[in-house]
Chains A and B, each alone.
Chain A
Amino acid sequence: NAGVTQTPKFQVLKTGQSMTLQCAQDMNHEYMSWYRQDPGMGLRLIHYSVGAGITDQGEVPNGYNVSRSTTEDFPLRLLSAAPSQTSVYFCASSYTTGAVNTGELFFGEGSRLTVL
């Protein structure tokens, strides 16, 4: 019962570096998403996907890239890290009805990123 697994749990980057946050789920969920959580800002949607090969932007997509080649995996790429991207990142998944996320959302444990 792994659920939603995120790696790494902690990461420190220098400004301008790139990296990929990994997310995998074993519940055969079509819907997967990435959020960032910042003090005073709550959880904000970065990108989401309703199935393999389908991705779309959320509320704060700039500086991030995603792809969905399999049902299980949904990596988040930081193209050129900036201090403003220091945050806690959460991956979440759920089942869908049609192309709409209507199910219970399950979260990973989070990836804590610091950009110096």
Chain B
Amino acid sequence: KQEVTQIPAALSVPEGENLVLNCSFTDSAIYNLQWFRQDPGKGLTSLLLIQSSQREQTSGRLNASLDKSSGRSTLYIAASQPGDSATYLCAANDYKLSFGAGTTVTVRA
């Protein structure tokens, strides 16, 4: 069974600092890995999807890397802003998506 772990569970940084969020998964036979953002009381918003053949994906200030062999993905958010405060979840897709518990980020103004 795929196990997905996100460390740390919570993170607080001052505005302008770069964010590094980690995701690890136990079974490397995945089709893709997806990063989501969830605001309190809201649904999940897709941020980046990395296919198994890719090493990274970028969208604006966001960059996600994927290392299947080591079972790791990292989400980088450059120059964080208070509006980046949210919970970030990763999900590994090996036919069924398995989600991590998320990292709750607070960006202090």
Interface residues of A (CB under 8 A from B): 33, 40, 42-43, 45, 48, 58-59, 90, 92, 100-110
Chain A residues whose C-beta falls within 8 Å of the C-beta of B93 in the assembled complex: 101-102
A45 to B31, CA, bound (A): 17
A48 to B91, CA, bound (A): 16
Judged by a CB distance under 8 angstroms, whether B89 is at the interface is: yes
Could you count the A-B residue pairs with CB atoms below 8 Å apart for me: how many are there?
A: 49
Interface residues of B (CB under 8 A from A): 31-32, 34, 36, 42-46, 49, 51, 89, 91, 93, 95-97, 99-102
- Whether the pair B100, A109 counts as a contact (CB closer than 8 A) is no
- Whether the pair A102, B31 counts as a contact (CB closer than 8 A) is yes
Chain B residues whose C-beta falls within 8 Å of the C-beta of A100 in the assembled complex: 31, 95
Chain A residues whose C-beta falls within 8 Å of the C-beta of B32 in the assembled complex: 102
Instruction: Given the known inter-chain contacts A90-B43, A109-B43, please indicate yes or no for A104 contacting B101, CB distance below 8 A.
Output: no
Q: Contacting A106 at CB < 8 Å: which of B42, B46, B89?
A: B46
- Whether the pair B44, A90 counts as a contact (CB closer than 8 A) is yes
Instruction: Given the known inter-chain contacts A42-B102, A45-B96, please indicate yes or no for A105 contacting B42, CB distance below 8 A.
Output: no
Q: Contacting B46 at CB < 8 Å: which of A43, A59, A105, A110?
A: A105
Chain A residues whose C-beta falls within 8 Å of the C-beta of B100 in the assembled complex: 42
Chain B residues whose C-beta falls within 8 Å of the C-beta of A33 in the assembled complex: 97
Chain B residues whose C-beta falls within 8 Å of the C-beta of A92 in the assembled complex: 44
- Whether the pair B91, A105 counts as a contact (CB closer than 8 A) is yes
Within the complex, the shortest CB–CB distance from A57 to chain B, in Å, comes to 10
